[in-house]
Amino acid sequence: MKKIINNPSHVVQEAIEGFMFAYSDSMTKVENVNGIIRKDLQDKVAVITGGGSGHEPLFLGFVGDGLADGAAIGNVFAAPTPNTVQEVAKAVDCGKGVLFVYGNYAGDVLNFDMAAELLEFDDIQTKTVLVADDVASAPADRKGDRRGIAGDVFVLKIAGAASGKGLSLDEVARVTQKAADQTFSIGVATSPGTIPGETEPPFVLGDDEIELGMGIHGEPGLKRTKLMKADELTDELVDKLLEESNIQASDEAAVYVNGLGSTTLLELLIVNRRVAQLLKKKGIQIYDMDVNSYCTTQEMGGFSISLLKLDDELKELYDAPASSPYYNKAQKSREGVK
């Protein structure tokens, strides 16, 4: 497997060095750990995200105005250490507390929770919102066991906007949890990704096979089946999302189609076209649509679809301007997607 790297043991450190060369005007690396923070910290609740490397531009690419204030970075597909999380939190805290927002994976939960305990000794108050949007990873009655995938983007957007309004830590956590509860995603893998330094992919798919619901690290999905046409595949994924989310006619939702790394924008746009057709047919109001590759898996083939059910409170926060190296949203008047 061809990868443009030097030493597999140095990929994360060297990637952060490259990031800092590009964005040192607005970012600062936290000393002695793999963490970055924004330079222009504000007097507000701080928002920290993080997780394993290999999903770029998550997580470091979402540090910026109206988004996260810092990111704690782990090795490839591995959680950041408690010390990394602790040092990033200490670097961004201004005395109003820190909200952790990250995907629901056992290693991340363990290490962020340990960091929260350590931060108590530093008199830094923390709260946590887990993103558990992957409807394929556990049934609805075990929603707390679901993984976090591309819905991280929606939840981080809301958290950053809420903290930017100057809300208290309790209020930022409340509305961010609301966004997490109303975010639903499902993905499909068409080909495996690669892990730097490994000679074999983490899983194998036949040339004509796909796996519906496969996780972003290759976790098992709902079923393995033959490749189907884009519309047929999108229909099946959207049906599952609507069944799980209970989003109905006249509801409003933001939509995000995320590429996993090797799927082209041309393909993603074809999927987005079908998503829009399906939601309109069901009378669901599309508040906004985004098509991009924010949550990747080392050139895995495939995509995910995320829906965020919106109410007036979430819409205001969703519309707040945001700017980071890999995500930008300008304030604009809204008439929904035509």
Residue tagged active-site, from 38, 55, 146, 329: 55
CA distance 135 to 110: 22
Contact (Cβ atoms closer than 8 angstroms) between residue 20 and residue 29: yes
Contact (Cβ atoms closer than 8 angstroms) between residue 325 and residue 57: yes
Quickly tell me which residue has 């939509």 as its tokens: 255
CA distance 169 to 105: 23
**Residue 55 annotated in active site:** yes
Contact (Cβ atoms closer than 8 angstroms) between residue 218 and residue 202: yes
User: From the CB of residue 270, how many other CB atoms can be counted at a distance below 10 Å?
Assistant: 16
**Residue 10 annotated in active site:** no
In the structure encoding, which two tokens stand for residue 280, read together?
């309109």
Q: How far apart are the first and last CA of the chain?
A: 43
Task: Name which of 143, 115, 117 is nearest 130 in CA terms.
Answer: 143
DSSP state of 302: E
CA distance 256 to 293: 10
Catalytic positions are 55, 217
